[in-house]
């Protein structure tokens, strides 16, 4: 039987932590008088570790078959790393705590995705109904903490985020392992899979899509607060984007039944090109910002659902954990690191408008890369 609620619970707390941490930790760092480049360097550690850690843990899980113990151990050490933020506000100390937390925290999701698809088996269409609880968790955290921080000091977000991390630990210890059935592609090698042009096209496109989101994840909250919006409004803006994502997750079975996954991905890139220009140049208009956040349903919801479904299909059997790790490290890792670091150096030099325009440029590059690298023939299937 599908352990629906145990899997959903893990996604709930995992993405609730992102909702508690990503929008508000940058504001906490700003309150410590760190520069934009310092903030970008610290936040980029999450992406740097996503380059190295998922592949290392994925390789270890494949060799040992111990996916669940790795997920549980990573949750415990992530909480230990986060706790270091309570002891000092020095840059070096926070850098060490971020590196430790990120190295272990980034190990978990690719393995949990692999475990989820193992449990789903032939019912992969149900992935969205499980993953949507991650979006619910994100909304609850980002909205609740946003309102709380209108009355509490910004440092209070540390305690709230730590409680969510503790929830991840609890859920990790009730996650069940899944038994992987034999796959006709179990004999396929990683090198053979990576030679397929559509695989290379997707992985490269994922890199550019994450780079396009770099400034959003590092500076969006700061961008809004600096332009006069309150922290509760910041919470609502993040919430609106995730609500759009939830709708798309629930509609993906119908969308993928009507259009090919390649088409869905291309539309997501077009939306990303438009979205980041609007955020950069339209920050003075609430209506423009609302529309831009609704596009998150395409730039993340539709994109991630289509991409991870393809990764599950193309990296079958024993390659599943490695495929999920490769997807995470190239996109959220390398791409996110590039976008985040560059935005840190352009934010004060070129300004927010041109920084977000750079994000649109990354999205446009990904659009061209995917369109030219993956031809339309046979695009509706793996």
pLDDT in tens, 53-71: 877 877 787 777 788 999 9
Torsion of CA 11, 14, 20, 21, to 10 degrees: -140
CA distance 331 to 319: 18
Tell me what pLDDT residue 188 has: 62
Q: Which domains does the chain have, with CATH numbers?
A: 8-177+187-373 (1.20.1250.20)
Q: What is the per-residue pLDDT for 54?
A: 76
Structure confidence at residue 157 (pLDDT): 94
Those residues of the chain that have pLDDT short of 50 are: 378, 380-382
Which pLDDT does position 50 carry in this prediction?
79
What pLDDT sits at residue 381?
44
Query: Which DSSP state fits 301?
Result: I
Give me the torsion for CA of 314, 315, 316, 320, rounded to 10°.
Answer: -150
Q: How far is CA 318 from CA 24, 78, 110, 159, in A?
A: 38, 27, 14, 39
- Token pair of 155 as six digits: 């440092």
Distances (CA, A) of 96 to 30, 145, 152, 364, 367: 18, 25, 26, 35, 36
pLDDT at 90: 93
**Whole-number pLDDT of residue 187:** 55
Q: What are the tokens at 356?
A: 């977000």
pTM: 0.75
Among 205, 347, 322, 346, CA closest to 266? 205
Residue showing tokens 């609502």: 236
pLDDT at residue 180, rounded to an integer: 60
3-state SS class at 92: helix
Task: Give Cβ neighbours of residue 245 (< 8 Å, ≥ 6 apart).
Answer: 135, 296, 297, 300, 301
Region of 259 (left: φ > 0; alpha: ψ -120 to 50; beta: rest) is beta
């Amino acid at each position: 039987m599908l352990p629906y609620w145990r899997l959903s619970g893990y996604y709930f707390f995992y993405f609730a932590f992102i909702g508690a941490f990503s929008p508000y930790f940058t504001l906490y760092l700003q309150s410590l008088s760190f520069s934009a480049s310092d903030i970008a360097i610290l936040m980029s550690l999450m992406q740097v570790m996503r380059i190295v850690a998922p592949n290392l843990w994925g390789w270890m899980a494949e060799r040992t078959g111990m996916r669940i113990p790795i997920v549980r151990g990573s949750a415990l050490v992530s909480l230990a790393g986060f706790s270091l933020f309570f002891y000092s506000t020095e840059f070096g100390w926070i850098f060490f705590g971020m590196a430790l937390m990120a190295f272990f925290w980034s190990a978990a999701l690719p393995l949990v995705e692999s475990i989820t698809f193992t449990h789903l088996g032939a019912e992969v269409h149900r992935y969205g109904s499980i993953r949507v609880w991650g979006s619910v968790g994100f909304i609850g955290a980002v909205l609740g903490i946003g309102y709380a921080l209108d009355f509490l000091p910004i440092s209070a977000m540390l305690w709230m985020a730590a409680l969510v991390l503790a929830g991840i630990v609890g859920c990790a210890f009730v996650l069940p392992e899944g038994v992987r059935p034999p796959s006709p592609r179990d004999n396929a090698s990683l090198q053979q899979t990576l030679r397929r042009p559509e695989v290379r096209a997707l992985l490269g496109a994922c890199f550019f899509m994450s780079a396009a989101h770099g400034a959003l994840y590092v500076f969006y909250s700061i961008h809004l607060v600096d332009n006069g919006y309150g922290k509760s409004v910041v919470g609502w803006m993040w919430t609106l984007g995730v609500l759009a994502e939830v709708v798309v997750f629930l509609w993906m079975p119908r969308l993928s039944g009507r259009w090919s996954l390649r088409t869905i991905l291309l539309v997501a890139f077009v939306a990303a090109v438009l979205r980041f220009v609007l955020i950069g140049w339209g920050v003075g208009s609430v209506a423009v910002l609302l529309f831009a956040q609704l596009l998150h349903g395409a730039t993340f919801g539709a994109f991630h659902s289509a991409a991870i479904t393809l990764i599950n299909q193309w990296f079958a059997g024993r390659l599943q954990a490695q495929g999920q790790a490769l997807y995470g490290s190239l996109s959220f890792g390398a791409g996110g690191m590039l976008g985040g670091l560059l935005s840190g150096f352009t934010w004060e030099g070129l300004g927010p408008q041109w920084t977000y325009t750079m994000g649109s440029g990354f999205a446009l590059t990904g659009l061209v890369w995917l369109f030219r690298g993956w031809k339309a023939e046979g695009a509706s299937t793996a």
